Chains A and B, each alone.
Chain A
Amino acid sequence: MRQEDHPLLFEIGSSGLYAASLPKSDVPTLKPADAIPAELLADEPPPLPEVGELDLVRHYKRLAHRCFSIDANFYPLGSCTMKYNPRINERVAAMPGFLNLHPYQDEADVQGILELLYRLRCDLAEIAGLAETTLQPAAGAHGEMTGLMIISAYHESRGERRTKVLAPDSAHGTNPASCSMCGRESISIRSKDNGRVDLEDLRAKVDEDTAAFMITNPNTVGVFDEQIGDIARIVHAKGAQLYLDGANMNAILGITRPGDFGVDCMHFNTHKTFGTPHGGGGPGAGPVAVAKHLCEFLPVPQVIKRDDGTFSWLSDRPNTIGKVRSFYGQVGVLVRAYAYIRAVGCDGLRDVAEKAVLAANYMAAKMKGRYPIPFPPPYAHEFVTIPDFPGSGVTDIDIAKRLIDYGIHPPTMSFPIHHCLMIEPTETESLATLDHFVAAMLAIADEIESNPEVVRTAPHTTPIKRLDEVTASRKPNVRWTSE
Chain B
Amino acid sequence: MRFTQFTDGQVEQALEVIGVDSIDALFVTIPPALRLKGDLKIPSGVSELELLKDVGSLTARNQDCDQLVCFLGGGAYDHFIPTVVDALSMQTEFLTAYTPYQAEASQGILQLFYEFQTMICLLTGMEVANASLYEVASAAAEAVLMATSITRRRNVIVAESVHPDTRQVLDTYLRSQDMDIVTVPAPDGVIDEQALLTALSESTATVLVQSPNLFGCVERLDRIVPIVHDRGALAIVSTDPISSGILKPPGAFDTDIVIGEGQALGVPMQYGGPYLGLLAGREKYLRKMPGRVVGETKDTEGRRGFCLTLQTREQHIKRERATSNICTNQGLLAARAAVYMAAMGRRGIAEVASQCFDKAHYAATQIAKLKGYELRFAATFFKEFVVRTSRGVEAALAACRARGILGGVPMARFDERFNDCFLVAVTEKRTRAEIDSLVAALDSA
Residues of B near A204 (CB, < 8 A) are: none
Question: Which of B51, B347, B359 is the one whose CB lies under 8 Å from A27?
Answer: B359
Residues of chain A in range 255-288 having any CB-CB distance to chain B below 8 Å: 255-257, 260-261, 275, 277-285
Question: Which of A22, A275, A277, A352 is the one whose CB lies under 8 Å from B351?
Answer: A22
Please judge, given known A-B contacts A278-B96, A323-B172, whether A333 and B30 are in contact too, CB under 8 Å. no
Contact: B406 with A105, CB < 8 Å?
yes
Residues of chain A in range 170-221 having any CB-CB distance to chain B below 8 Å: 172-174, 176-183, 185-186
Please judge, given known A-B contacts A226-B29, A479-B114, whether A346 and B362 are in contact too, CB under 8 Å. no
Contact with B along A218-234 (1 / 0, CB 8 A): 00000111101100000
Residues of B near A103 (CB, < 8 A) are: 75-76, 269, 271-272
Check: A106 CB closer than 8 A to any chain B CB. Answer: yes
Please count how many residues in chain A sit with their CB below 8 Å of the partner chain's CB atoms: 208
Contact: B17 with A357, CB < 8 Å?
no
A380 and B348 alpha carbons, distance in the complex (Å): 52
Q: How far is the CB of B393 from chain A (nearest CB, A)?
A: 13
Check: A350 CB closer than 8 A to any chain B CB. Answer: yes
Q: How far is the CB of B349 from chain A (nearest CB, A)?
A: 6
Contact: A19 with B342, CB < 8 Å?
yes
Check: A373 CB closer than 8 A to any chain B CB. Answer: no
Please judge, given known A-B contacts A177-B324, A327-B272, A352-B4, whether A48 and B317 are in contact too, CB under 8 Å. no
Please judge, given known A-B contacts A277-B95, A328-B271, A428-B4, whether A415 and B19 are in contact too, CB under 8 Å. no
Residues of A near B40 (CB, < 8 A) are: 126-127, 254, 346, 349-350
Contact with A along B265-291 (1 / 0, CB 8 A): 000111111110000000000100000
Contact with A along B51-64 (1 / 0, CB 8 A): 11011111111111
Residues of chain B in range 89-135 having any CB-CB distance to chain A below 8 Å: 89-100, 102-109, 111-115, 117-119, 121-123, 125, 127-129, 131-132, 134-135
Contact: B119 with A49, CB < 8 Å?
yes
Please judge, given known A-B contacts A115-B61, A126-B41, whether A467 and B297 are in contact too, CB under 8 Å. yes
Q: How far is the CB of B217 from chain A (nearest CB, A)?
A: 11
Contact: A8 with B111, CB < 8 Å?
yes
Contact: A86 with B3, CB < 8 Å?
yes
A343 and B75 alpha carbons, distance in the complex (Å): 33
A293 and B85 alpha carbons, distance in the complex (Å): 46
A473 and B248 alpha carbons, distance in the complex (Å): 32
Contact: A348 with B98, CB < 8 Å?
no
Question: Which of B3, B220, B314, B324 is the one whose CB lies under 8 Å from A181?
Answer: B324
Residue of A nearest to B6 (CB): A355
Check: B320 CB closer than 8 A to any chain A CB. Answer: yes
Contact: A467 with B122, CB < 8 Å?
no
Contact: B351 with A469, CB < 8 Å?
no
A45 and B149 alpha carbons, distance in the complex (Å): 34
Check: A96 CB closer than 8 A to any chain B CB. Answer: yes
Contact: B64 with A97, CB < 8 Å?
yes
Residues of A near B51 (CB, < 8 A) are: 88, 92, 339, 342-343
Binds B, one of A238-246, A358-366, A388-396, A446-454: A358-366
Question: Which of A98, A105, A278 is the one whose CB lies under 8 Å from B98?
Answer: A278
A401 and B299 alpha carbons, distance in the complex (Å): 14
Q: List 22 A–B pairs whose Cβ atoms lie within 8 Å, in order of A's numbering.
A: A8-B111, A19-B344, A22-B351, A32-B246, A45-B346, A48-B123, A48-B345, A56-B88, A57-B88, A68-B102, A88-B52, A96-B66, A103-B271, A105-B63, A144-B325, A255-B27, A281-B100, A324-B169, A329-B273, A404-B105, A464-B104, A464-B303
Given contacts A358-B23, A378-B26, 4 further A-B contacts (CB under 8 A): A67-B97, A126-B41, A173-B327, A177-B322
